[in-house]
Structure 1
Amino acid sequence: MPGLVQEIMTPPDRVDTDLLVAFFQPEAVAPDGPAGLIDLRLDGVLVRHLGDGGMAGQSLLIRPRRRLACRWVLLLADVGERDPDDRIEKALQTARESGFRSLVLAPPMERNVKPAAWLEALQRLAGQGGYEDMECLITFNSTYMHEHNAVILNT
């Protein structure tokens, strides 16, 4: 019997979960989408890692220490154009091997992201391959991209 698979409407940085998973392009100068949001909230940890010679295929497991609502963040290197199945399989496998039983996926914000394809792939993959006991949530919320926080100086 498959575990819980559900879409949620919460922005990635506000999800209360054991593990938040986001994908990044190692060759990008600055991460974007959910990985960019996480990098911003964690004071550029991903940019520093890549700038310090971090290997392109590496993934990062980070404890955000109250800077995000989740307890752990997994940033997965997304090398090349891949379909949701490959990305989700890598996320589920890495989460399982790391001892997590619940996770929230935050797919990259690409022009061609199809939420229905991601949700369908997650439902299919979570119901097989030893992931049946996992709680797998997914968020496509991108409202954080429209937040404009700036210091206002009164003179």
Structure 2
Amino acid sequence: MALKDLWFTPAFEDAFPKGLYLIGEIAAVTEFSADRSAPKRQRLDFDRDGNGTGKRLWKATVTDPTGRGAKDSSFDITFVADVQPVPSAEEAVPGFIPIVLEGLQIKPKVAGSGEFKSMGFTIRATGIAGDTSGAKQAPANPGASRPAAEKAA
């Protein structure tokens, strides 16, 4: 079935009408290694067939105020970006930072096992609105791309 690997791209306001709150820090997603002494490697956005963006993966835990019950109110989001996204808003209450996702993608999946299966979602984004970490834009006036007239000055 062609819909197996289909990502939906809803508007943020449609998917999360009351917004989202970041809980804790955004951290790198690392690859598993059986060798405990091996250095940790950050996972890149590639599937088993080698398809993907090749960008780094970051994971964050968020809470949705419209969630129905404890099971649906908090979940993880994966960010696909070269640089770790940084929220620009201040904490609404200690430990909760309001965020708006950019480049939102949602894919349905089966969650649970055995007779306790339910509908779940894999949620990805490319960044956070208002982020100034460099995840979405190049640094201001980098030397290599500076016009020749400015270099000679």
TM class, shorter-chain normalised? under 0.3
Structure with the bigger RCO (C-alpha within 8 Å, sep 6+) is 1
Decide which structure has greater helix share. Answer: 1
TM-score by length of 1: 0.26
Structure with greater Cα Rg: 2
TM-score by length of 2: 0.26
